[in-house]
């Protein structure tokens, strides 16, 4: 397998796995929110924040994939450079932290948000304190995965010049 293929697999995994996690997490939170909103539609604003929070991991995965494509020269006119299989493997490995941190943290964040939504249905004053703050605590691990990926992509790989 050539280096470019490995690098693109890494970029794809970052976007795909983090995106899947976000979709699942939003689905979990969304199911809870629709149940609450069917009886208390005035709580839409409180519910909305907790439903969309698990979606950030998908953006983090997209950012990692975009950084790979940017460094490969996908958006320039000079073409994509040849990559050794070693560099391709480095790129693939660099994408894994956000791929898996995004997948897992988004799902668990959806669960936390679901609990926050159900709690806010009975105690709306606690929506931010417990619902959002606890969900943000899960988000920290997705951010750490993104930072590790970014540091590895930006400082750990000797990218070849464009062709």
Query: Please, which residues have CB within 8 angstroms of residue 12's CB and are 6 or more apart in sequence?
Result: 65
Which of these, 144, 147, 118, lies nearest to 130 by C-alpha position?
A: 118
- Cα separation, 68 vs 4, in Å, equals 10
Q: Which CATH superfamily is domain 3-155 in?
A: lithium bound rotor ring of v- atpase (1.20.120.610)
Q: What is the pLDDT of residue 81?
A: 85
* Backbone φ, ψ for residue 12 (5° rounding): -65, -40
Enumerate helices (H) and strands (E) in the chain, giving the number of each.
5, 0
* In the chain, where the domains are located: 3-155
Instruction: Identify the segments of the chain with pLDDT beneath 70.
Output: 162-163
Q: What is the pLDDT of residue 46?
A: 83
pTM over 0.75: yes
CB 102 within 8 A of CB 17: yes
* Backbone φ, ψ for residue 132 (5° rounding): -75, -45
Q: What is the pLDDT of residue 131?
A: 82
95-126 pLDDT tens trace? 999 999 999 999 999 999 999 999 888 888 88
């Amino acid at each position: 397998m050539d280096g470019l293929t490995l690098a693109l697999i890494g970029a794809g995994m970052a976007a795909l796995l983090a995106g899947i996690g976000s979709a699942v997490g939003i689905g979990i939170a969304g199911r809870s929110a629709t149940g609450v909103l069917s009886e208390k539609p005035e709580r839409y604003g409180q519910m909305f924040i907790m439903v969309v929070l698990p979606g950030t991991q998908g953006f983090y995965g997209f950012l990692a994939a975009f950084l790979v494509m940017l460094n490969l020269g996908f958006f320039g006119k000079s073409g994509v450079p040849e990559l050794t299989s070693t560099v391709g493997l480095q790129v693939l490995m660099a994408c894994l932290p956000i791929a898996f941190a995004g997948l897992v943290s988004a799902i668990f964040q959806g669960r936390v948000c679901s609990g926050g939504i159900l709690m806010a249905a009975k105690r709306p004053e606690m929506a931010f304190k417990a619902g959002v703050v606890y969900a943000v605590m899960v988000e920290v691990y997705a951010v750490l995965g993104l930072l590790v990926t970014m540091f590895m992509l930006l400082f750990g790989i000797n990218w070849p010049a464009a062709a």
